[in-house]
Amino acid sequence: MAGGVGTRFWPISRVSKPKQFLDILGTGKSLIQMTFSRLARTVHPENILVVTNEIYRAEVSNHLPDILPENVLCEPCMRNTAPCIAYANSVISSRVAESGANPSQTAIIVAPSDHLILDESEFSRILSLATTTATTTSSLVTIGITPTRPDTGYGYIKYSHHSNNGELASVDQFTEKPDLATAEKFLETGGYCWNSGIFIWSLSNINTAFDSYLPLMSESFKSVKLVGAAGEVDEIYKCCESISIDYGILEKCMDVAVIPADFGWSDLGTWTSLAQHLPSDEACNSTSGVQVMASESKGNVVVGNSEKVIAIKGLNDFIVVDTNDALLICPKSEEQWVKTLVGELKGK
């Protein structure tokens, strides 16, 4: 899934160049390139589909020159993750039917394009367990992340027993981003993990789930046979409900399994989450792309895209992001406000 804008990473991430196409970690690779390489350890590259917005078609090809053109599925507009997945399912269903393969033995991995995973060997092992489960049971499988802090920026999954990392458990309940007190209670209680947004299921199981919980969407996308049928896809998206796969299917389904895991995951969803992967000084000021002179300042995130010197004094636990045309200064405790700000900017 590569159609998001990464609004919480404003002002670096913009509609014209969203987070997945940035080398935000300074590795020499964009996040989508890192994701493609990681998945190619488990999935043959010719079976990797990228669902993105039409305006990013060329960008995807530039970053992934080896991907087949017919494997880039372009949405005409943003409609959240359920339509994105339904669109990919329709194309996969068509190819499976043509090949004569068994839909119940066809495993699908759904992954965001802009996440960081440090332990790729453990990730591959978890995927192997998940795909085996998905093709031998009726379960929809999600990967959970063992929480390290009471983070309010993630959804939480409660599972039925205290599973060890890397073992399968039944999902009890999904909870959207909680307040701090609730998140702290979850960690105290145990049996909770973060929702990574990575899903694994068989083609037959996910198609059955769409038929049951999102029947109108399911019926609409069953008509999509060719990637090139842009006009047809445009018409479907015009009438398509905007809903996440979590709300639309997973929270309603009674047969969902989770694998709580620990493979060095981060969704890199906020400046604070990025800071954990940037160099920092003895006062825990994390920096990228700029020279920082810090005096009596600690716990800040300072990012830029030039050789400009940024001097700070008496500043604690702030985010400072400088670009050619915008400057963000925000307390780390209020970083979720950045998404609200982007909405206001669009209005102006």
Backbone angles phi, psi at 201, to 5 degrees: -160, 165
164-212: pLDDT as tens digits: 666 889 999 999 889 999 999 999 999 999 999 999 999 999 999 999 9
Find the angle CA(271)-CA(260)-CA(86) to the nearest 5 degrees.
Answer: 75
Conformation bin of residue 6: beta by default, left when phi > 0, alpha when psi is -120 to 50: left
Residue 281 CB-half CA count within 13 A? 16
Domains with residue ranges and CATH for the chain: 7-269 (3.90.550.10), 272-347 (no CATH)
pLDDT of residue 287: 92
pLDDT digits (tens, 9 = 90+) for 53-108: 999 999 999 999 999 999 999 999 999 999 999 999 999 999 999 999 999 999 99
What pLDDT was estimated at residue 161?
A: 67
What is the arithmetic mean of pLDDT over 42-57? 95
CA end-to-end distance (rounded Å), the chain:
29
pLDDT classification of 312: cutoffs 50, 70, 90: very high
Q: Give SS3 for 128.
A: helix
What's the confidence (pLDDT) of residue 269? Answer: 84
In the chain, what percentage of residues exceed pLDDT 70?
96
Residue 32 contacts residue 21 (beta carbons within 8 Å):
yes
CA 104 – CA 348 distance, rounded (Å): 49
Statement: residue 163 has pLDDT above 80: no
**Which range (100-109, 152-161, 325-334) has the least confidence?**
152-161
* Residue percentage of the chain with pLDDT more than 90: 77
Phi then psi for residue 131, to 5 deg, are -70, -35
Whether pTM > 0.85 for this model: the answer is yes
Rounded to a whole number, what is the largest CA-CA distance in the chain? 67
* 347 pLDDT above the threshold of 90: no
What pLDDT digit, counting tens, does each position of 220-229 carry? 998 765 545 5
* Closest to 135 (Cα-Cα) out of 89, 200, 202, 198: 202
What are the residue ranges of helices labelled H in the chain? Answer: 31-39, 57-63, 81-99, 120-136, 180-189, 203-213, 215-221, 230-239, 245, 271-275, 337-347
DSSP, residue by residue, 199-248: EEEEHHHHHHHHHHH-HHHHHHHTT---TT-HHHHHHHHHH-----HIII
Residue from 247, 255, 246 nearest 170 by CA? 255
